[in-house]
């Protein structure tokens, strides 16, 4: 396989919970359609990430800066949303990550020619992972499907897309 689709943090807390947004809900049908095409056409590998925190979240640096308890491991909020669960058995990996970027992701994407990011939040975890991967593999095509991503706000989503484009990530509309 030459391509991987990286589904970032499509978890209940980021879609339907306190950190959820209308925009996150709106991308679900487009994301399901994209993943169905990937699975049926066997056109890419799928990798999921899960933001994963412990009960001591509020005592971490992230928790002090974002004092909203979320994605506590093994809670309903931590789980990948129901609409995407059928794709988990087709995934090459499901990565738990403790913070915005996954230190494990670069080792998993080494064999690909392109990695495409989708999910939430464009302006936090997607940009963190896309730029992390771009730093590790400057010749790798790193792309983002802007129609299958949502940010904290529409404005911060647009700002993150512009920043990734400036860093030579390919942005699909």
97-115 per-position pLDDT tens digit: 999 999 999 999 988 999 9
Mean residue pLDDT of the chain comes to: 97
pLDDT at 87: 98
Looking at domain 3-172, which of 3.30.1240.10, 3.40.50.850, 3.40.190.10, 2.40.33.20 is its CATH number?
3.40.50.850
pLDDT at 110: 86
Q: What is the 3-state secondary structure (H, E, C) of 66-90?
A: CCCCCCECCCHHHCECHHHHHHHHH
Tell me the three state secondary structure of residue 50: strand
Cα angle 117, 173, 5; round to 5: 20
Rounded to whole angstroms, the Cα distance separating 108 from 122 reads: 21
Whole-structure pTM over 0.75, yes or no? yes
Domain residues of the chain, as ranges?
3-172
Rounded to whole angstroms, the Cα distance separating 90 from 128 reads: 25
CA-closest candidate to residue 125, choices 162, 151, 145: 151
- Number of Cβ within 10 Å of residue 157's Cβ equals 22
pLDDT at 8: 98
Instruction: For residue range 119-141, list pLDDT tens digits in order.
Output: 999 999 999 999 999 999 999 99
pLDDT at 1: 82
Residue 106 phi, psi (nearest 5): -55, -35
Give me the residues of the chain with pLDDT under 70, please.
none
């Amino acid at each position: 396989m030459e391509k991987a689709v990286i589904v970032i943090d499509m978890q209940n807390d980021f879609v339907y919970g306190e950190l959820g947004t209308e925009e996150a809900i709106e991308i679900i049908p487009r994301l399901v359609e994209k993943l169905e095409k990937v699975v049926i056409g066997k056109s890419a590998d799928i990798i999921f990430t899960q933001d994963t925190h412990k009960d001591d979240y509020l005592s971490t640096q992230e928790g002090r800066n974002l004092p909203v308890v979320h994605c506590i491991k093994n809670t309903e909020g931590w789980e990948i949303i129901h609409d995407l669960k059928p794709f988990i058995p087709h995934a090459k990996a499901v990565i738990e990550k403790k913070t915005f970027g996954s230190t494990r992701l670069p080792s998993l994407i080494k064999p690909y020619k392109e990695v495409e990011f989708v999910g939430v939040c464009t302006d936090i975890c997607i940009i963190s992972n896309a730029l992390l991967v771009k730093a590790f593999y400057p010749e790798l095509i790193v792309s983002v499907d802007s129609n299958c991503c949502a940010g904290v706000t529409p404005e911060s989503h647009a700002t993150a897309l512009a920043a990734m484009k400036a860093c030579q990530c390919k942005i699909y509309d």
